[in-house]
C-alpha cells in the first residue's frame, strides 16, 4: 500500500509544477528544482515497491522501512498542502483587503502584512522541504540493504493454496444439509428441449465460508452418483492453466494420464470422451475473470447429454458472470452452534472430564467470534486443542482475532489470496475500512467520498469522475465478498464487513503510522483517536467530542463528527489546514459564525452540514474553492443563498433539499463543473435560465416545489440522465428543447396533477428508460415518437383510443417491465388493428397487466364482435404474475385465457355481459386469487 501513498505524493508534486506554470505562483524560491528532486527520488524508490510489498508481512525490517517511506510521503503531502494553503490564503485575503474600506485610508498596511506573512511562510516551507530531502535520502540508501527486485509483480512467486480433492469426511461437516439439498435438486433438474450445453451453477462466498466443503458434500451425495454417468472434480486454484485442467478432466474421465501437450488436441480428446454422456463437472476455486480462457472449455463441453451440469465455486461474483452462470448460490454463514460443533471436535478431542464443562462453556462463547465462518472455527479449534487450562481459553476469548499469532499463520493466508488479486489502490481502499467499528453500518456513498478526500481515487484536478471511479472500486470489492449485509434504498446503499474480514483489515494496518510523533499528545488523549489520526489520517467521533480534539489532529484529512449533536465546534478547527472531508451533519444549532471558521479551511473538498440548524449561509462560503461536494440539506434558512456560492467552480454535487428556498441565485450558472443538483422540497416558483449553463449536470432533482414551468434552456443539459419534477402540481408541459436530452434515462412526473403534454419530439429522448407519471394523470395523449423509444422499461399507464395515444406505439417496446395499465376506448375496427400491433405477448418482462375498457359502443352484433376481437388481440406475455381485466362488455373470453400462464398468481375479471365464468376456470386452477364480478348470467 506504500505504492498508493507514494503515488499520491508524486501527483501532488506534479500538481505544484502545473500550478506554478498556470498561475505563476512561486511561494518558495527554486520550487521547481526542489520538486523535481523529490519526484526523482520517489520514482526511484517506487520501482522496487512491488517486491517490497510482497515481502512486507514476512520481514519486519521491510515493514519498518515501508512505514518510514509512507510517513515521509505523507509529510511531503502535508508540506505541499501548507504551500497550497498559504498561496490560497494570500490570494483570498489579498482580494478581500483590496476591496476593504481600510485600503482606501491606509493602502500600505495590508500589503506590508501580506509580504511579511509571505516571507515567514516561505522560510518555514523551505526548511521543511530540506528536512524531507534528508529523510528521503536515508530511506533511499536503506533500500539497497534489502536487495529488492525492480518491478517485481506483487503476486509473483506467491505460494498457491493446496489443491482440493473430492474426498471428504462427512462427519466433519455441520450445518450444510439444507444448502446441499437445495443445490442437489438444482443439479438434478432437467429442462425439456434444452440443447445449449450444460448449465453452470456457481457457489459464491467469502474465503473460509465453506464453498469447497459444500461442493464435496454435494459431489458425494448418493442422489447425484446415480443421476450422472460421469462425475469429475478439478481444482482450478489461482492460476487457470488450461493444459493442466484439460489433462485433469481427461484423466478423471478415462482413468489414465493424457500424453498430449497441446490444448487444442486435449480439448478435442475431451470432447470425444464426454460426447453423449450426462456428466457433472465440479470446478473448485476459480479466480480468473478472463472469458477467453474459459471459452474453449465451454465449447468442448457442449456435446454432453441433456441434463449435464457444471458446478463452480468462487469468491467473486465477477467470476460467476464470466462463467456465464445460469444460477448463482450465495453461501451463507453457519450458526454459532454449528461453529462450536466444528471447534469441539478439535478442541475437546481426547480430554478428560476434569474441566470439560467449564471449557465447553468458554468454548461456546469463543465460537461466537467465528461469525459463521467454518475456517475460523477450525483455526480456533486447533489453537484451543493446545491450551489446557480455562485461563488460557479465557485469554483467547478476550483477545481480538487479528492479535492472535495463529491467525496470521493459519487464517489470514486464505484472505490474502483474495487481497492479492486487488490493485494497490483497491488494497488501500479496503484496508481503510478497518477504521469503522465492527458491525458498523457503512454508508457506501460516504465511504467513497472519504477515499476521494484521502487521494486514493486520484488527484482532484484530474478530469476523471472520481465518484464513479470509487463506485467501480467498491463494486469490485463487493463482488469479491469483502462486504456483506447490504441494504439498498434507491441510490442509498449500506453494508457491513464480516468481523473476520474486519480483523484482516486491521491486521494489514496494525503497524502503520507509529513512527510519527506529536509533541502535543499527553496522557489525557484518547489512544484510539490518536491511532485513527496516525494510521488512517482520519478521525471519527460518534457521541462526545474531547476538548483536546484538535491538539493532536492537525494532520487529519477526514473528520466526521456526525451525530455528535454539536452546538459549537471545539476550538482550533481553523488550524486543520489539511482537512479535505468534514461531516458535521446532525449538529443542531450551528451558527453562521462557526460556519465562517469552517470557510477558512481552503483545502476542503467534501462538506456535509445537513441538519445543522443553520439559518443563513455566510458569503465567505465562496472561499472554499476546492469544494467538490456540499450538502446543506434540512437547514431552514431565513435568507437566500449568497451570490458568492457561484465562486465554487470545482463543485460537482450540491444538495439543497428542504432548505426553505424561494429562489436560486442566477450565479448558479457559474458552477460549470456541477454534476448533481438537488433542490427537492423547497418553495421555488421558478428556476433561473442560467441553469442551462450547467452542461456537465447528470442528475437534477426539483421535486416537491411550486414550479409552473421549466425554462427552455434546460435543453442545453445534454449530459442529463435523471430529471425529477415530481409533485410540482402546476406544471402543465415541458419545453420542446427537452428533446435535446439524448442521455436522459429517467423522467419523473408523478403527482404533477395538471401535466397534460409531453414534447412532440419525444423520439429525441433516445436513452429514456423510465417515464413515470401517476395512474390518475390527465396525460391522455403521448406523441407518436414514443414508439421509437425502444429502450423504455417503465411506462405505467397508456390511454389508447380516438384522440388519445395508440396501442400500436407499444409494438417495438419489448423492454417494458413491471406494471402496465392500459385504458382503452374502442371506437372502430382501427382500434382493434392497433391492439394487434401492440404485440403484448412479446413484453416478457411485464409481470402485472391491467386492461380497462371505457368504450361507449352500442350493443350491435358488430360492436360485440369488435370487443371480442380486441381482447383476443391483447394476448399477455407468458411470465405474467397478475392480470386484471375491467369493464369488459364482450360476449366471450379470448382463446388465450385458457393458455398456460405458469407464473400467474392472480386473475381478476369484471364483465358486463352474458359470459360463463366456467370458461376461464381451467386457466385459474393455478392462481392464488381468482375473482369474477358483475355477471348478468
Rounded to whole angstroms, how far apart are CA atoms 316 and 204?
6
- Residue 523 has a CB neighbour count (10 Å cut-off) of 5
The domain 422-505: what is its CATH number?
1.10.10.10
pLDDT at res. 144: 82
pLDDT at res. 762: 95
Residue listed under C-alpha cell 527554486: 30
Residues in CB range of 826: below 8 A, 6 or more apart:
801, 832, 853, 855, 857, 866, 867, 870
What torsion, rounded to 10 degrees, do the Cα atoms 61, 66, 71, 72 define?
Answer: 110
pLDDT at res. 513: 43
pLDDT at res. 128: 82
Q: Where are the domains of the chain?
A: 1-93+118-144, 176-330, 422-505, 780-936
pLDDT digits (tens, 9 = 90+) for 238-278: 788 888 888 888 888 888 887 788 888 888 898 888 888 99
Report how far apart, in Å, the C-alpha atoms of 298 and of each of 125, 245, 258, 271, 322 are. Answer: 62, 13, 20, 10, 11
**Superfamily, domain 176-330:** P-loop containing nucleotide triphosphate hydrolases (3.40.50.300)
Q: What is the mean pLDDT of each run of 10 residues along the chain (937 residues)?
A: 73 66 53 77 82 80 85 83 77 59 36 51 76 86 83 47 76 87 89 71 90 92 90 86 88 83 87 89 89 88 88 90 91 91 84 78 88 85 82 83 67 80 89 90 94 87 78 90 88 90 86 45 53 81 66 81 70 82 85 84 93 90 93 92 93 95 93 95 95 96 96 96 96 94 96 92 95 85 93 94 90 94 89 91 92 80 86 89 88 79 81 54 51 50
Locate 719 and state its grid cell: 449530459
Angle 141-144-148 (CA atoms, 0-180°, nearest 5)?
135
Rounded to whole angstroms, how far apart are CA atoms 633 and 682?
10
The crossing angle, in degrees rounded to 10, of helices 861-873 and 829-838 is 10
The H or E element that residue 873 is part of is helix 861-873
pLDDT at res. 347: 85
pLDDT at res. 386: 79
Residues in CB range of 397: below 8 A, 6 or more apart:
362, 365, 366, 369
Locate 346 and state its grid cell: 478439535
Helix (H, G, I), strand (E, B) or coil at 282: strand
Rounded to whole angstroms, how far apart are CA atoms 654 and 665?
13
pLDDT digits (tens, 9 = 90+) for 556-587: 899 988 876 666 666 677 788 889 999 988 88
Beta strand 484-489 with 929-933 is unpaired
pLDDT at res. 249: 87
Amino acid at each position: 500500500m506504500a505504492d498508493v501513498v507514494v503515488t499520491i505524493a508524486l501527483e501532488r508534486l506534479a500538481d505544484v509544477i502545473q500550478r506554478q506554470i498556470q498561475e505563476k505562483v512561486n511561494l518558495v524560491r527554486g520550487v521547481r528544482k526542489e520538486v523535481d528532486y523529490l519526484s526523482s527520488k520517489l520514482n526511484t524508490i517506487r520501482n522496487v515497491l512491488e517486491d517490497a510489498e510482497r515481502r512486507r508481512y514476512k520481514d519486519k525490517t521491510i515493514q519498518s522501512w515501508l512505514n518510514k517511506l509512507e510517513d515521509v510521503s505523507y509529510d511531503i503531502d502535508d508540506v505541499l498542502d501548507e504551500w497550497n494553503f498559504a498561496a490560497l490564503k494570500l490570494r483570498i485575503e489579498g482580494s478581500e483587503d483590496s476591496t476593504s474600506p481600510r485600503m482606501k485610508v491606509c493602502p500600505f498596511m495590508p500589503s506590508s502584512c501580506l509580504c511579511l506573512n509571505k516571507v515567514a511562510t516561505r522560510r518555514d516551507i523551505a526548511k521543511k522541504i530540506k528536512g524531507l530531502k534528508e529523510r528521503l535520502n536515508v530511506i533511499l540508501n536503506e533500500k539497497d540493504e534489502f536487495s529488492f527486485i525492480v518491478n517485481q509483480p506483487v503476486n509473483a512467486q506467491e505460494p498457491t493454496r493446496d489443491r482440493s480433492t473430492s474426498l471428504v469426511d462427512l462427519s466433519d461437516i455441520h450445518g450444510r444439509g439444507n444448502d446441499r439439498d437445495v443445490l442437489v435438486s438444482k443439479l438434478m433438474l432437467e429442462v425439456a428441449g434444452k440443447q445449449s450445453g450444460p448449465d453452470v451453477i456457481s457457489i459464491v462466498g467469502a474465503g473460509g465460508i465453506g464453498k469447497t466443503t459444500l461442493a464435496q458434500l454435494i459431489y458425494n451425495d448418493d442422489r447425484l452418483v446415480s443421476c450422472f454417468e460421469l462425475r469429475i472434480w478439478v481444482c482450478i486454484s489461482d492460476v487457470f492453466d488450461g493444459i493442466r485442467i484439460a489433462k485433469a478432466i481427461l484423466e478423471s474421465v478415462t482413468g489414465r494420464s493424457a500424453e498430449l501437450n497441446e490444448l487444442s488436441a486435449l480439448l478435442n480428446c475431451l470432447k470425444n470422451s464426454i460426447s453423449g454422456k450426462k456428466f457433472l463437472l465440479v470446478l473448485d476455486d476459480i479466480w480468473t475473470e478472463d472469458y477467453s480462457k474459459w471459452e474453449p472449455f465451454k465449447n468442448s463441453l457442449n456435446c454432453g447429454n441433456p441434463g449435464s451440469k457444471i458446478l463452480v465455486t468462487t469468491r467473486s461474483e465477477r467470476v460467476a458472470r464470466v462463467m456465464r452462470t445460469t444460477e448463482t448460490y450465495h453461501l451463507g454463514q453457519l450458526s454459532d452452534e454449528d461453529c462450536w460443533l466444528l471447534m469441539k471436535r478439535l478442541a475437546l478431542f481426547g480430554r478428560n472430564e476434569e474441566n470439560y464443562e467449564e471449557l465447553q462453556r468458554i468454548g461456546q462463547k469463543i465460537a461466537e467470534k467465528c461469525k459463521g465462518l467454518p475456517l475460523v472455527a477450525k483455526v480456533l479449534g486447533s489453537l484451543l486443542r493446545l491450551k489446557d487450562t480455562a485461563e488460557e481459553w479465557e485469554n483467547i476469548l478476550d483477545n481480538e482475532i487479528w492479535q492472535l499469532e495463529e491467525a496470521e499463520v493459519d487464517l489470514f493466508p486464505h484472505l490474502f489470496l483474495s487481497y492479492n488479486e486487488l490493485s494497490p489502490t483497491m488494497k488501500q481502499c479496503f484496508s481503510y475500512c478497518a477504521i469503522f467499528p465492527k458491525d458498523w453500518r457503512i454508508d457506501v456513498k460516504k465511504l467513497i467520498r472519504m477515499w476521494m478526500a484521502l487521494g486514493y481515487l486520484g488527484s482532484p484536478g484530474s478530469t476523471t469522475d472520481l465518484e464513479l471511479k470509487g463506485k467501480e472500486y467498491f463494486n469490485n470489492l463487493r463482488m469479491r465478498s469483502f462486504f456483506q449485509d447490504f441494504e439498498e434504498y434507491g441510490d442509498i446503499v449500506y453494508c457491513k464487513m464480516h468481523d473476520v474480514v474486519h480483523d484482516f483489515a486491521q491486521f494489514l494496518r496494525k503497524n502503520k503510522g507509529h513512527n510519527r510523533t506529536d509533541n502535543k499528545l499527553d496522557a489525557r488523549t484518547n489512544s484510539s483517536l490518536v491511532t485513527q489520526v496516525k494510521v488512517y489520517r482520519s478521525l471519527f467521533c460518534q457521541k462526545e467530542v474531547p476538548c483536546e480534539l484538535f491538539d493532536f489532529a492537525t494532520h487529519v484529512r477526514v473528520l466526521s463528527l456526525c451525530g455528535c449533536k454539536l452546538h459549537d465546534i471545539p476550538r482550533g478547527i481553523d488550524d486543520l489546514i489539511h482537512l479535505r472531508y468534514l461531516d458535521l451533519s446532525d449538529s443542531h444549532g450551528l451558527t453562521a459564525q462557526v460556519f465562517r471558521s469552517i470557510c477558512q479551511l481552503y483545502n476542503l473538498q467534501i462538506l456535509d452540514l445537513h441538519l445543522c440548524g443553520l439559518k443563513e449561509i455566510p458569503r465567505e462560503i465562496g472561499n472554499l474553492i476546492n469544494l467538490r461536494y456540499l450538502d446543506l440539506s434540512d437547514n431552514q434558512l431565513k435568507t437566500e443563498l449568497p451570490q458568492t456560492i457561484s465562486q465554487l467552480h470545482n463543485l460537482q454535487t450540491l444538495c439543497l433539499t428542504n432548505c426553505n428556498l424561494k429562489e436560486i441565485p442566477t450565479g448558479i450558472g457559474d458552477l460549470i463543473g456541477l454534476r448533481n443538483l438537488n433542490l427537492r422540497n423547497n418553495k421555488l416558483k421558478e428556476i433561473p435560465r442560467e441553469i442551462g449553463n450547467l452542461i456537465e449536470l447528470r442528475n437534477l432533482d426539483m421535486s416537491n416545489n411550486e414550479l409552473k414551468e421549466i425554462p427552455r434552456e434546460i435543453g442545453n443539459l445534454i449530459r442529463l440522465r435523471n430529471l425529477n419534477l415530481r409533485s410540482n402540481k402546476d406544471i402543465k408541459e415541458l419545453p420542446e428543447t427537452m428533446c435535446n436530452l439524448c442521455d436522459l434515462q429517467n423522467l419523473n412526473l408523478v403527482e404533477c396533477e395538471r401535466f397534460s403534454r409531453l414534447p412532440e419530439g419525444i423520439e429525441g429522448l433516445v436513452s429514456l428508460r423510465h417515464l413515470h407519471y401517476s395512474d390518475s394523470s390527465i396525460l391522455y395523449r403521448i406523441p407518436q415518437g414514443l414508439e421509437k423509444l425502444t429502450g423504455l422499461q417503465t411506462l405505467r399507464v397508456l390511454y389508447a383510443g380516438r384522440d388519445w395515444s395508440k396501442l400500436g406505439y407499444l409494438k417495438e417496446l419489448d423492454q417494458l417491465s413491471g406494471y402496465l395499465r392500459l385504458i382503452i376506448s374502442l371506437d372502430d375496427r382501427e382500434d382493434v388493428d392497433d391492439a394487434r400491433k401492440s404485440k403484448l405477448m412479446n413484453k416478457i418482462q411485464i409481470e402485472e397487466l391491467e386492461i380497462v375498457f371505457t368504450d361507449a359502443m352500442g350493443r350491435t352484433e358488430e360492436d360485440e364482435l369488435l370487443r371480442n376481437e380486441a381482447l383476443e388481440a391483447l394476448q399477455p406475455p407468458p411470465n405474467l404474475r397478475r392480470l386484471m381485466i375491467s369493464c369488459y362488455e364482450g360476449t366471450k373470453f379470448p382463446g388465450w385465457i385458457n393458455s398456460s400462464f405458469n407464473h400467474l398468481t392472480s386473475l381478476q375479471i369484471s364483465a358486463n355481459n352474458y359470459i360463463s365464468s366456467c370458461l376461464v376456470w381451467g386457466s385459474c386452477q393455478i392462481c392464488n386469487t381468482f375473482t369474477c364480478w358483475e355477471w348478468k348470467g
